[in-house]
Amino acid sequence: MAIYLDYNATTPVDPAVLDAMLPYLAENFANASSVHSPGQRARAAVDEARESVARLIGAKPAEIVFTGGGTEADNLAVFGAVGASKGPRKHVITTSIEHHAVLHACQALEKQGIDVTYIAANSDARDGIVDAESVRRAIRPETALISVMHANNELGTIQPVEQIGAIAREAGVLFHCDAVQSAGKLPIDVNRIGANLLSLSAHKIYGPKGVGALYVRTGSRIEPQIRGGQHERGLRPGTENVPGIVGMGKAAELARIRLADDSAKISALRDRLEAALLQNVPSIRINGYSSRRVGNTTNITFPGASGESLVIALDLHGIACSTGAACSSGAIEPSHVLLALGLSDDNARSSLRFSLGRNTTSAEIDRALATIPAVVEKLRALSPRYTAAAPVAVGEGD
């Protein structure tokens, strides 16, 4: 069987989640907005799921708005907050290492004439952390929104969101936090974070694809981006995806219950993977190593070996992982996150992300460690640009 080390991309649906969903794909198929009894049973299931998601992040059920996924939640937060803000001039603050769901939304706002400030990660320390004080200094009288992720999807680095939330609150600015990659890996309390808006995705926490949620703090105004009925407080019109919402609710319940056990087990496996690769593969660099990270993620640069080639070669050996690159018009572009850390184009293109999950076993890590060094060595031997060097200190390089 394949060794799956790409849990940050998506997770398998937990069997208990599937069991919870199945009745709403068959006999309990009614529209949750219908007033008849079958419809009200569907409505009750949606309400129960809303309570479960709210408990995961310390929110009130009425503050949870279900969406079609994390990207939609991010877009609703960014466009919705700016659309609801008053004044002729508007300004947004975000970071250079956000997920494209936020970055591309901000770029679209710029085309509309809205100013966006992109706070850089700490490229001097190369730790993948944004400086909270840089956010404070970027605030203007017309700032409508600050959007900073909780955990980076490529590095796993945890951002100082509580500090940023306090800064936003002090300035009277809405604060959006993309928690898609931290939910189920870190405890989340929207009140401690100080978030007005917070995005979640079901398929990152062993739930189904195609469903997510946006936390909207009571009193925070955002403008709906889809027009239609009054579903989800009028912020996300459209017939609710009852099976998906039920699945997200069950996944949120399991994530809350299993958080401590999952984190301890997965972190130990990730640390063992990193330590063995550092010992057995020369000249590698672990990106963001010196930072506080979620326990399942490691991003490693293998100088002299193309990341794309590594992914293909490892896949042929039954190991699934990913690069930090995005495919655009058939051309592989280096990861914007790794470039923001100060890596060269070549080293950014020579990096892999391994992300572990609930189902990862010690035996799988052993098999991966028996395979990865040899694959890297073979690809380096074929590279005219690679010269063996002394091992690079963790977190250094370029």
Distance CA(336)–CA(128), nearest Å, equals 12
Are 237 and 191 contacting, i.e. CB atoms less than 8 angstroms apart? no
Helix ranges (H only) for the chain are 15-21, 37-57, 70-84, 100-111, 132-138, 161-171, 190-193, 242-280, 307-316, 336-340, 345-348, 362-381
Distance CA(158)–CA(215), nearest Å, equals 20
In sequence order, the β-bridge partners of residue 273 are none
Nearest partner of 147 among 90, 195, 190, 189, judged by Cα: 195
CA 23 to chain centre: 30
238's torsion region: left (phi>0), alpha (psi -120 to 50) or beta?
left
Q: How far is CA 227 from CA 67, 77, 223, 237, in A?
A: 14, 16, 10, 6
In sequence order, the β-bridge partners of residue 94 are 118
Indicate the DSSP class of residue 12: P
Catalytic residues: 327
Are 247 and 206 contacting, i.e. CB atoms less than 8 angstroms apart? no
Which long-range CB contacts under 8 A does 98-104 form with residues at least 24 apart? 98/147, 98/148, 98/149, 98/178, 99/74, 99/149, 99/153, 99/178, 99/180, 100/326, 101/70, 101/71, 101/74, 101/75, 101/178, 102/74, 102/78, 102/147, 102/149, 102/178, 103/336
Are 57 and 198 contacting, i.e. CB atoms less than 8 angstroms apart? yes
Distance CA(156)–CA(345), nearest Å, equals 21
For residue 86, the tally of other CB atoms under 10 A from its CB is: 8
Question: CA torsion angle for 311, 212, 161, 323 (degrees, to 10)?
Answer: 10
Distance CA(25)–CA(29), nearest Å, equals 6
Distance CA(124)–CA(121), nearest Å, equals 9
Looking at residue 68, its amino acid is G
